[in-house]
Amino acid sequence: MKPMQSDPTVQPVPASVVATVDAADTTLSNPRWAVVALGANLGNRLETLQGAVDALADTPGLRVKAVSPVYETEPWGVEPDTQPAYFNAVALVKTTLPPSSLLERAHAVEEAFHRVREERWGARTIDVDIVAYADVISEDPVLTLPHPRAHQRAFVLAPWHDVDPEAQLPGHGTVAALLAAVGDEGIARRTDLELRLPE
């Protein structure tokens, strides 16, 4: 009887890969809530926001569960009248994607709508920001959670509060209290505009 020879193509699976697969499996069996902020101030702003919502809904492992009213907002961080006004909205999603994959998808949606990153606070066709992911608090410079400036931005807090009045921003308290603190100057709800929830 010939001795069994090991198959050189079969290699032990590295522990790091096993851990990653196990973590992904846990995520898949436990969908998480995430809050995604959308903003646009170039081109057909409403059409672009709807396109971004639809693109998110087309993502495997992600369901858009709620979409906020649309707000018109003065540009943040720039001189007055140097940019068109923004349309802003918030989407609540339930996802099996880990935060890093959700970020990749957000960037892919921005690229699909020709987002150009030339200057900070620059005008853009679309901005897709992950505001919060479950109760995760992370200082990772690639994806800081929750979004480091969300608690200061009425254009995020107001639409978020509209779709989830009981919402909490991890590490900062209730969205209602944060919104009351920053006020609603510079934002206006556009009751004449509406984003459709994907079917």
Give the residue numbers annotated as catalytic, written as ranges: 115, 124, 127, 129
In angstroms, the CA 113 to CA 53 distance is 12
Burial pattern 103-121, b for ≥16 Cβ within 10 A else e, equals: bebbeebbeebebeeeeee
Phi, psi values for residue 59, rounded to 5°: -80, 125
DSSP H or E stretch at residue 4:
none
Of 72, 78, 83, nearest in space to 42 by CA: 83
Query: Residue 196 in contact with residue 67, Cβ under 8 Å?
Result: yes
Nearest 5°: the CA angle 68, 190, 38 is: 45
Specify the 3-state DSSP secondary structure of 157: helix
